[in-house]
Chains A and B, each alone.
Chain A
Amino acid sequence: MLNSDELKVYLENLGIAVEGTIIEDVSKASGYLVFVTVTRDTNNLQQPTNRKLHAIRNELAQEGTHVEFMLKNSYALDIEAGLRATLLHHHIDAIRNVFFSADKKGAHVWIEPKRKFTEEETVDVTRRSTVYLASLDLNLVTLRTTIDENLPTKFVCLKMIRQMSPIHIESLMAQLVAADFTVPSVDWLLRRIDSIRRSGLLVRLSNGSYVLSLEGLRSLGTTKNRRSPDIARLLALARRNA
């Protein structure tokens, strides 16, 4: 097993820039925590690559030295600070915080809003982020807000209908609300259900209730374990008739 000085020399000989002091990991015998500076090359690929770092880690582990690399990207930190300042300057009443990360696909931006954005604000924040990142040769891949929205997705609606079918829209809404989802109105839910029905996954019966089509059942699939949808349906029916 290498000591921390030998480890530093070993890594630097392999072209790995170690930052600061190598720290012994108190939770693991013969383990080290190593800060490594990473950069992005002209193809926006991380240098040193994760593959190279994994290979070094495995090689060291075979010799009895366990290393955990902490990647330091000070460039990303500067970008984050700059982007935060830019967006907060223009939307101080709507934005609480801004975070940034980058991978090989490009840049990801998280916005922590103070309230729900208006449509104009969303457009403006996206435009400013795109322009700012483009000036640094970065492509904005995703911009997301961290607002705690909990509207039921198409998948959730289908799963709920499978469990409770045949089910009327009002009962479906009650079930979704009981499961702690936010349903803005019956009309909103009706539109969502209608779009699923048009895609052929649902059937509306003559009495106005909904059931899954064969395609819907096939698409949702099944599992043969304790999370089986058949068991969930059986339990749901038993609860309903109790």
Chain B
Amino acid sequence: MALSEQLCDKRCFVEVVAIYLMGEAPQRPVAVEKDLFGRSAFNRFYYAAYLTVRAALLAGLGECPKSHSDVPDFLLGKVSRGLTQGEQRARRVSDTELAKLCSRARTSARELAEILKEGYSVRVTADYFPEVPVIFEANGEFGLNTVHISKARSWPPKADAMCKSICIAWRQANA
């Protein structure tokens, strides 16, 4: 099985674990357990998003930096530049359809970089800063360092959507 497929499978499982932890955290009877389950949910949602991106970039672009913190720069640098070139080439043959695809994909790359930066910072908080508490609300939802769990929940599907947009444009521009 190709690495991108293995990552894709893992991403699904990691997201399942994250969803379980998100539901379980407010149910835990002891405060410290609530905190640990809660911060682990943030961590897992970030990893699910990261694995999604890694799998998609490996399959669609053939490369992805190994270091987590390098992926946003890769998206804003090499990927965005490649999409700009694709857009220019498309415009030269009046292919407005591909030019639009590339332009939208560039917006997606920017958005995706923001998601990964935010996710990474929350993951660092969750793993290395136990003194920053998970704050629970009356309805059972929670947040860590001002990032709400519902936002973390949206990282993997959002990353998936953005990756599709990038890979489709990249594929057309580099066929």
Contacts and interface: CB of A to CB of B under 8 A. Distances in A.
Interface of A: 19-21, 23-28, 33, 35, 68, 70-72, 77, 81, 97, 99, 101, 103, 108, 110, 112, 142, 144, 146, 148-150, 152-156, 158-160, 179, 181, 199, 201, 216, 219-221
Contacts of B171: 150
B158 interface: yes
B161 A99 contact: yes
Q: A70, A77, A159, A160: which has the most chain B beta carbons within 10 Å?
A: A70
Interface string B102-129: 0010010001001001101100110011
A108 B162 CA distance: 12
A219 B93 contact: yes
Interface of B: 67-69, 89-90, 92-95, 97-98, 101, 104, 107, 111, 114, 117-118, 120-121, 124-125, 128-129, 132, 145-148, 150-151, 154, 157-158, 160-162, 164-165, 168, 171-173, 175
Nearest to B96: A154
Contacts of B160: 112, 146
B93 A150 contact: no
B173 A144 contact: no
Contacts of B172: 152-153, 155-156
A149 B168 contact: yes
A108 B89 contact: no
A220 B124 CA distance: 46
A98 B36 CA distance: 30
B146 A25 contact: no
Given A71-B114, A221-B89, A153 B97 contact: yes
Nearest to B128: A26
Contacts of B168: 148-150
B165 A153 contact: no
Specify the main secondary structure of chain B where it touches its partner: helix
Contact of A153 (B69, B95, B111, B158): B95
Most buried by A among B68, B90, B107: B107
Given A142-B104, A153-B98, A154-B98, A70 B121 contact: yes
A179 B175 contact: yes
Contacts of B147: 20, 35, 72
Contacts of A154: 90, 93-95, 97-98
Given A153-B90, A154-B93, A154-B95, A20 B164 contact: no
A23 B92 contact: no
B117 A148 contact: no
Given A23-B125, A23-B129, A155-B89, 13 more contacts: A20-B132, A23-B145, A26-B128, A33-B121, A33-B124, A112-B161, A144-B165, A152-B172, A155-B172, A155-B173, A199-B94, A219-B92, A221-B89
Nearest to B165: A146
A219 B90 CA distance: 9
Contact of A23 (B94, B111, B121): B121
A201 to B, nearest CB: 6
A231 to B, nearest CB: 15
A198 to B, nearest CB: 11
30 contacts: A21-B145, A23-B121, A23-B129, A27-B68, A28-B69, A33-B120, A35-B145, A68-B117, A71-B114, A97-B157, A99-B158, A108-B107, A110-B165, A144-B165, A152-B172, A153-B95, A153-B97, A154-B93, A154-B94, A154-B97, A154-B98, A155-B89, A155-B172, A155-B175, A156-B98, A156-B172, A156-B175, A159-B175, A179-B175, A220-B92
B148 to A, nearest CB: 8
B98 to A, nearest CB: 4
